[in-house]
Structure 1
Amino acid sequence: MTSIVPALDTRSADGSALQAVLLDMDGTLVDTEGFWWDAEVEVFAELGHMLDEEHREVVVGGPMTRSASYLIQATGAEITLPALSDLLNARFEELVDRGVPLMPGAAQLLAELAAHQVPTALVSASHRRIIDRVLKSIGPEHFALTVAGDELERTKPHPDPYLVAATGLGADPARCAVVEDTATGVAAAEAAGCVVVAVPSVVPIEPAAGRTVVRSLEEVDLSFLRGLITGMH
């Protein structure tokens, strides 16, 4: 289940302050989106099917069930969804165990949030077994709470993961800054009522109301995130 520890209350008297930061994992904090695609390409090659680049744009950022179901339908591969999910998770774990590179700016942002004791959660569509492996590279101490895709009835693009994270940190979703790299994740965060920073990885994301698009996490620091919340008034 989700891991929860008491979080500090950073609310100001008027309730306008940044209360928590909720971070996606794959493609946002760690450069693993390519790992997932490599795992999918390798597994389907072994099943006798070649994946096209157009498939990548469909599956990026999605939950395992959606991505795997789509690829089975698109290729006609004769394999069940549970069996394919197991194969993909296992292959991804093999790739992760060789080392996971952090995205530019990720280490600095996490260190700053920790130094200022800002309640921070990791919110991923990946399964718990994957998250716990990747956390070895990111540092589990940076998160008061982590939410995995296989721990909820509905994961991204539904708002549930971000609502669970905000509740677990005792924060108002409207006072939470979410950092995401895919349209699926952005949709989940916006549906939850959070302020969103998009750092597009594979597919472009356009700016919108309540959504700021940046090129890299190197453009994101605590002052920037606080400004997005206070700028709402």
Structure 2
Amino acid sequence: MSSSDHLAAVLFDMDGTLVDTEGLWWDACTEVADGLGSPLGEADREALFGLPVEDAAAHLLGRVNGGPGRSAVEAMLTGTFIRRIEGGVTMLPGAAALLEALRAAGIPAGLVSASPRPVVDLVLETVGRHRFRLSVAAGDGARNKPAPDPYLAAAARLGADPAACVVIEDSPAGVASARSAGCAVIAVGPAPPDGVPAVPTLESVDLPLLRRLVSGRVPPGT
């Protein structure tokens, strides 16, 4: 393996990338919006996709006159989301196998989420905290995605060069965060951001692909 292929770590987004929680998040947003007297429409689904809770709260409040403050709406969203996650979450196809391959190869995995710490810890209890060297959640730093801070923090805690880390994401905000941190990034899901290497599911991701990403040998749209 050449030095340009060195893969220091793989950093996973959580919601919609590692676990199937995007529907639960939408349901939580719609429940809170209904309680505020401003039901959501399909355009709001796209707007809320991948947003941190603080930005989602701001979006909901932008639709109503008056009402509670943003911190109160953030608490409503977090509490409602947690209640739904407590009913169980499912790892997405290919996630468990990829994490096991990384463990066997001695490559650390990190979980970097825009969700609050209580949500991240609850999901880690379900999918296995032992699978990850570290986790970064909303509130662990001053800025959330799409700022680079979460991925920079994860790389620093691992003692890794961000350029030697691959980020696996599913949302435009997450991809922007990873790119601005200087990480290689691959998108998973049906609607990847333009110009980003992409696969339909984690079942298509393996160690050779991750190493090619670090070396810059994977073209956009893969």
Fold conserved (TM > 0.5)? yes
* Preserved CA contact (<8 Å) 1:207 1:213: no
Q: Does 1:200 align with 2:189?
A: yes
Q: Which of 207, 214, 220 is the equivalent residue of 2:199?
A: 214
User: Following superposition of structure 1 onto structure 2, how do residues 118-157 of structure 1 map, counting pairs within 5 Å?
Assistant: 118-157=107-146
Mapped partners of 2:66, 2:86: distance in 1: 27
Q: Does 1:228 align with 2:197?
A: no
Q: Percent identity?
A: 45
* Preserved CA contact (<8 Å) 1:49 1:77: no
Mapped partners of 1:76, 1:193: distance in 2: 40
Mapped partners of 2:175, 2:49: distance in 1: 12
Name the counterpart of 2:81.
Answer: 92
Name the counterpart of 1:3.
Answer: none
Instruction: State the AA in 1 paired with 2:102.
Output: L
* Preserved CA contact (<8 Å) 2:147 2:177: yes
User: Following superposition of structure 1 onto structure 2, how do residues 65-104 of structure 1 map, counting pairs within 5 Å?
Assistant: 65-76=54-65, 78-104=67-93
Mapped partners of 1:129, 1:231: distance in 2: 36
Mapped partners of 2:177, 2:17: distance in 1: 15
Mapped partners of 1:47, 1:68: distance in 2: 11
Mapped partners of 2:65, 2:7: distance in 1: 47
Deviations 1:64-110 (A, max 9, x none): 11111011102436121111111111111111111001111111111
Which of 132-141 and 43-52 deviates more? 43-52
Q: Which of 148, 152, 161 is the equivalent residue of 2:150?
A: 161
Name the counterpart of 1:24.
Answer: 13
Q: Is the alpha carbon distance of 1:225 and 1:15 closer, same or farther for their aligned partners in structure 2, counting shifts above 3 Å?
A: closer
- CA shift, 1:53, in A, is 1.2
Mapped partners of 1:57, 1:74: distance in 2: 15
Instruction: State the AA in 1 paired with 2:15.
Output: D
Aligned-partner SS, 1:148: strand
Over aligned residues, Cα RMSD in angstroms?
1.7
- CA shift, 1:155, in A, is 0.8
Mapped partners of 1:69, 1:109: distance in 2: 35
Instruction: State the AA in 1 paired with 2:120.
Output: I
* Preserved CA contact (<8 Å) 2:38 2:63: no
* Preserved CA contact (<8 Å) 1:55 1:71: no
Instruction: State the AA in 1 paired with 2:210.
Output: L
Name the counterpart of 2:35.
Answer: 46
Q: Is the alpha carbon distance of 1:65 and 1:231 closer, same or farther for their aligned partners in structure 2, counting shifts above 3 Å?
A: closer
Deviations 1:4-24 (A, max 9, x none): xxxxxxxx7736411110100
Mapped partners of 2:151, 2:157: distance in 1: 10
Deviations 1:15-49 (A, max 9, x none): 64111101000000001011111011112212322
Instruction: State the AA in 2 paired with 1:45.
Output: D
* Preserved CA contact (<8 Å) 1:31 1:101: yes
Mapped partners of 2:66, 2:91: distance in 1: 33
Aligned-partner SS, 2:62: helix
Aligned-partner SS, 1:179: strand
Mapped partners of 1:153, 1:103: distance in 2: 30
TM-score by length of 2: 0.93
